Amino acid sequence: MIKCNIILDGSYLLYKNVFILKKLKSISDLFDLLERDFNTLTRTFPYDNIYFVSDSRELNWRKIIYNEYKNKRKKDLNIDWDFVFKTYDDFKKTLNIKNNVKLLEYNGLEGDDFIAYIINKTNENGYSNIIIASDKDLQQLLSFDLNKNYINIQWNYRFSDQRVYLPKNYQLFLEQLHNSENNNIFSLDNDIDFYNFIINLIQKTKINDINKEQILFEKIVQGDISDNIISIIKIKNGEYNINGRGIGKDGAKKVYNIYKKIHPEKIDFNSINFINRLTDIVIYYKKIKNPSTKLKEIIKENIILNRQLISLDTQYMPKKIYENLKNYFNEIEKKIKKNKTKNNKNIIIDNNNDSDDFNPDSYWEI
């Protein structure tokens, strides 16, 4: 039987809606639009768990280890951010009292940290996950397992121009699910509904199949402009220079292809071999002759730093931060379980559409 969670990136929904309402000059409708998004998305399937994750506005752990992290982001001064964040806080309070919603926000942590933890934890128990977010870092979490019967999908939910990201070879999972339904007269309606839900999602959106190994590799090499994480090498006049030219998106793809041609096996990002091999290949790609020991060490240090900042593997978190995340997550799980027991019933999500006639496409121009 298919078990499936939905994970909503609250920060993504917030900024998406602020962008929409700014264009419409209707920022006062923010609460209603957040509520509409939440209700629409949580009714797309009878999910086993609803997770709503949010970035802490306190100093996060990546900023502590790398002061330049997200340093170049600027707020639009034409937006009343005090109103925006107060409205967002008020909206989260309404979620916090719902017995079927697990709201996760903790000082020092980003929503991505919670999403990665949820996915790794729930995949172990055979849960699929639908991630509502736009962050490309999350694509390193997209995978499926035919034995444990789960798949992780990222849905960049918008009212138009929607995109869905699926793990590479996702067709194998759908094939197994479809064959299981056809060959088993006792197959559960839930499995059939899940298959139809995914097929419908694929048919109505633009889709991309993701090689999560390649996604992580390339982001480590090129860095992340939006987060102000620089490329692992910057060269000017044949020497390392922080103001020099790094490796961009196309270059990172070429580096990955060279790496896999020489080392075709699955990449172990945690190994010293990965660091040493990538260093040598980057030097070769940049055509650096007789590289100094110092240059090699700089590249290796940058690989290690980018891996820690970009990888969503919890082992790269500071130990105290990881313990806080784990303990807080367990507290929320217990709280929801206790509330359900107290009410002596499970929460059932209503799959009926809202009675209001609402067509977001009629007022949102992307």
Average pLDDT over residues 181-191: 60
**Does residue 53 contact residue 115 with C-beta atoms inside 8 Å?**
yes
Is the pLDDT score of 261 beyond 70? yes
Q: What would the pLDDT profile of 99-113 be if each residue is shown by its tens digit? A: 889 999 999 999 999
* Other beta carbons within 10 Å of 27: 18
Do 262 and 351 reside in the same domain of the chain?
Answer: no
Do 25 and 142 reside in the same domain of the chain?
Answer: yes
Q: What would the pLDDT profile of 104-152 be if each residue is shown by its tens digit? A: 999 999 999 999 999 999 999 999 999 999 999 999 999 999 999 999 9
- Between 8-12, 20-24, 51-55, 173-177, the lowest mean confidence (pLDDT) is in 20-24
Query: Which amino acid does the sequence have at 273?
Result: N
Do 15 and 120 reside in the same domain of the chain?
Answer: yes
Do 123 and 186 reside in the same domain of the chain?
Answer: yes
CATH of the domain at 9: 3.40.50.1010
Do 224 and 324 reside in the same domain of the chain?
Answer: no
Do 130 and 254 reside in the same domain of the chain?
Answer: no
Residue ranges making up the domain that contains 237: 213-310
What integer pLDDT is reported at residue 346 of this predicted model?
Answer: 45
CA 227, CA 214: separation in Å to the nearest integer? Answer: 19
Is the pLDDT score of 184 beyond 90? no
Q: How confident is the model at residue 347 (pLDDT cuts 50, 70, 90)?
A: very low
Number of folded domains that form the chain: 2
Q: How confident is the model at residue 341 (pLDDT cuts 50, 70, 90)?
A: low
What integer pLDDT is reported at residue 310 of this predicted model?
Answer: 97
Helix (H, G, I), strand (E, B) or coil at 130: strand
Do 16 and 142 reside in the same domain of the chain?
Answer: yes
Do 196 and 233 reside in the same domain of the chain?
Answer: no
Closest listed residue to residue 8, CA positions, set 142, 131, 143: 131
Do 184 and 91 reside in the same domain of the chain?
Answer: yes
